[in-house]
Amino acid sequence: MRELRIRVLAGVFALAGVLSWAGARLWNAIGTLPSVPLAAPVVLAVIAVVLLATAISIRARLKAQRERRPGAKGVDPLMAARAVVFGQSSALVAALVAGMYGGTGVFLLEFLDIPARRDQAIYAGFSVLAAVAVIAAAIFLERVCKLPEDEDDDTPGTAPAA
């Protein structure tokens, strides 16, 4: 499994942001701009908390296993792999959503004198912050689940040194 690349996440964020900003300008010229839902930052924050709780739980179980504590529960490799896949997919979607709401929020900065648009800009800003929290939690989860032998082997297909 490949690690999350910050450059890919930043690229997704930037592309989605530019497209969202342009789409918001076009949509506003044609009619009314769709609203940023109040639930967007809440849902993203819940996902960030779930990812962080999973990472902390796995880290504690791995630490107990390394210290050979009696009764320590091991970490099922398949469960850890599923957690990492969930984290990576959440981070990619969060980068896309952050770009989308970020572009919309930048567009809405022109209309802060209108109370409804100001509220939408605030919701968009909180959505971007919550999406960044999802990305940070996903990266932390990925680091927690990284196997020690993976640290030296950066290139696929190469045999480890004997």
Q: pLDDT tens-digit profile of 67-119?
A: 777 776 777 888 888 988 999 999 999 999 999 999 999 999 988 888 888 99
**Residues in Cβ contact with 91 at an 8 Å cutoff, skipping those fewer than 6 apart:** 4, 9, 134, 135, 138, 139
Given a cut of 70, is residue 55 above it in pLDDT? Answer: yes
pLDDT at 35: 82
8 A C-beta contact, residue 33 and residue 24: yes
3-state secondary structure 3-18: CCCHHHHHHHHHHHHH
Q: Which two tokens stand for residue 29?
A: 């010229």
**pTM (2 decimals)?**
0.83
The residues spanned by each domain of the chain are: 36-148
pLDDT at 162: 45
Three-state SS at 113 = coil
Given a cut of 60, is residue 54 above it in pLDDT? Answer: yes
